[in-house]
Chains A and B, each alone.
Chain A
Amino acid sequence: MILAYLGAGALLAGLVLAAFSALLSFWAGRTESGVMIQVGRRAFYATAAMIFIASVILETALLTHDFSVAYVTEHSDLSTPIALVAAAFYGGQEGSLLYWVLILGILGSASLLASAVLGPRLAAYAAGVMAAIVTFFLFVLVLVASPFDVLQITPPDGLGLNPVLRDGGMLIHPPVVLAGFASFAVPFSFAAAALLAGRTDAAWIAHTRRFALVAWGLQSTGLVLGMWWAYHVLGWGGYWGWDPVENVALMPWLATTAYLHSSQVQERRGRLRGWNFGLVILAFLLVVFGTFIVRSGIVPSVHTFAVSAIGPWFLGFLGACLLFSVGLLAFRSGGLKSNAEPAPAVSREGAFALQNLLLIGVIAVVFWGTILPLVSGLAGQERVVGAAYYERAAGPLFAAILLLMAAGPLVPWRHAGEPFWRSLRWPATAFAILLVALIVAGVRSLPALLAVPSAFAVASTVLYEYARAIGRSRLTGGGMSRALAFVAKRRRRYGGYLAHLGLAVLVVGLAASHFWQQERDVTLQPGQQVSIGGYTLTYAGVQNRELADHSELVATMRFGDQTLEPARATYAGLGGQSLTHVAISTTPVADVYVVLAGMNSDGSASFRVLVNPLVSWIWTGGAIIILGVVLGNAGARRAAFVPFAARVPSSLGAS
């Protein structure tokens, strides 16, 4: 019980410090008081320390099975494996909010420590905005949804973790995706601070790009891990269901993808200032919107948290953030205008602008599909759209983005001349070869005939760019080591291309597993076989296994020299809740995916067997994307900020 008081006390102290930090930082930024700016920043660090103390206390309460704490009782029990007990920290509503604000405290502190280059005023406003966000979360954690509520009677055991969460994926996916969500607040804070300080040059971009990239990298990893978990644990044979919770994780990722490209236009050419502010703000607003959707339970979803009292608070917070952001953009709109003439349509600037518009289009499609139940419910009849809507509406936009990815990296800044048109032959040839090969192979699906050749065109462009880098080094008399040095020196660019390559690999996996998936529902007696997609499986029998926290009915399927064991787990301690354990045989060519649907009274077993081509390419592509982000930014020195106007003559900036 003492742990609960210690934890609640730490959160309350954190709330006081965060509110103090927010108010003082805004005031000190306005009056440019150097000492008070430092005090405000230190109050933020102290807030982060309080959140850390509260987190350690909650984890201690979980690991010591302190069932006097309501959160511990509701999300763990004595039979749950200890690693999953530790993961229960973020497995429930209150704990996940605490984790959210812990990440913001850590990343926010890191960003403030590195913010000296921006000058005290901008850094003070950034501390103020971040502290204000933290204040809201701590307010909710202290007064509305505390993880340290105490039970009047301490039960001997807890209720346990939801069976779906009792998986190894629980140790990776939720912390990464929650960290991704939290990290979008850092670029937002610096963008808002730049607007508050009237610093609409590229200073904030140079500083926050790395944090935007951290957020984007975490969210990319979280999305892929989420797909992996859905595929391996939920047992429906797919990995993406256009569920509202998936959608709200995708939208800020799309907005930040747009920002990471358009920010280059501001850095290189001084354009799109207002647009870049808008994208960073949009990404954060989408995060708050997503948190509201997930936390309030207002939109039907397979994995939202239970309907709770915090929904209205998050709606209010969303409204406040929206008003603040729109007001700030409107207030500074005069300073965001660029005097530069529009760039030609066929130029790097034009490609980025088009890519941004397409990504915004996808966000709009996903946004309206997500909130349709809410909007239509208000009109009297709740309507829900399925995968078909998203595929029809967003599919063509994704196809256009892929084609743009194939051509975009080849387009030079400012003006595209003859060399650009010549270089297009590589992606065009790759596209044509794949198109013909697929048609010869009998493929007639237009989306498949567009997606797969486009992905190969993207890959060919990336390989062409790498070959060109090696060629340039050879021309200057260097060998492979010189080529590597050339690429390493421009690692941001070539890391980005590696991420493009990863996306191309991922798209091939998505397209193949979506368009060429095969599926059979069968009922088999022991010894009987099922054939699908050229694979033959033999059902050998079933057995019952008793494990620490559940029992499993395990079917045995012989598949070549492998044994697949799809199972159904039953958790007696959780009111007999059951869960499917999928058996998957993975090769680079295809996954054989077996689900035990049920056992019948005559001894037969019902199975759902799927052959999912190239699914492993999705995970490989995701890993390449992350590798590209890491290699593209590892060891990069923090560039001392040089204002755009100082680097580029004004005549050039206006050209």
Chain B
Amino acid sequence: MTLLVATLLLFAAGPFVLWPLIRTPDESPEERAA
């Protein structure tokens, strides 16, 4: 049950945490330089 809740919460947090990757599929040279 605890594992199930944790998994669901991680899924829910996924879009927020991974948003920079979703927004920027490939890192641009400028960002690499920054």
Binding site for B on A (CB under 8 A): 5-6, 8-10, 12-13, 16-17, 32-36, 38-39, 42-43, 45-46, 49-50, 53, 120
Contacts and interface: CB of A to CB of B under 8 A. Distances in A.
A38 B23 CA distance: 12
B34 A32 contact: yes
A60 to B, nearest CB: 15
Interface residues of B, number: 22
Contact of A50 (B4, B9, B18, B27): B9
Which secondary structure dominates chain B's binding surface? helix
Contacts, number: 68
B34 A34 contact: yes
A13 B27 contact: no
Interface of B: 1-10, 13, 16-21, 24, 27, 31-32, 34
Contacts of A10: 5-6, 9
A33 B30 CA distance: 10
Contacts of B3: 9, 12
Most interface-central of B6, B7, B21 (chain A CB within 10 A): B6
Contact of A13 (B10, B24, B34): B10
Given A6-B5, A8-B2, A16 B17 contact: no
Contacts of B34: 32, 34, 120
Contact of B20 (A5, A38, A49): A38
Contacts of A43: 17
A12 B21 contact: no
A164 B9 CA distance: 38
B9 A9 contact: yes
A39 B17 contact: yes
Given A13-B10, A16-B10, A120-B34, A35 B20 contact: yes
A32 B34 CA distance: 7
B4 to A, nearest CB: 7
22 contacts: A5-B2, A8-B5, A9-B3, A9-B6, A12-B3, A12-B6, A13-B5, A13-B6, A17-B10, A17-B13, A32-B32, A33-B32, A34-B32, A35-B24, A36-B20, A38-B20, A42-B16, A42-B19, A43-B17, A45-B16, A46-B13, A50-B13
B1 A5 contact: yes
A43 B18 CA distance: 8
Contacts of A36: 20
Closest 6 CB pairs of A and B: A9-B5, A34-B31, A12-B6, A13-B9, A38-B20, A13-B6
Contacts of A12: 2-3, 5-6
A62 B19 CA distance: 36
A318 B27 CA distance: 38
A141 B13 CA distance: 20
Contacts of B17: 17, 39, 42-43, 46
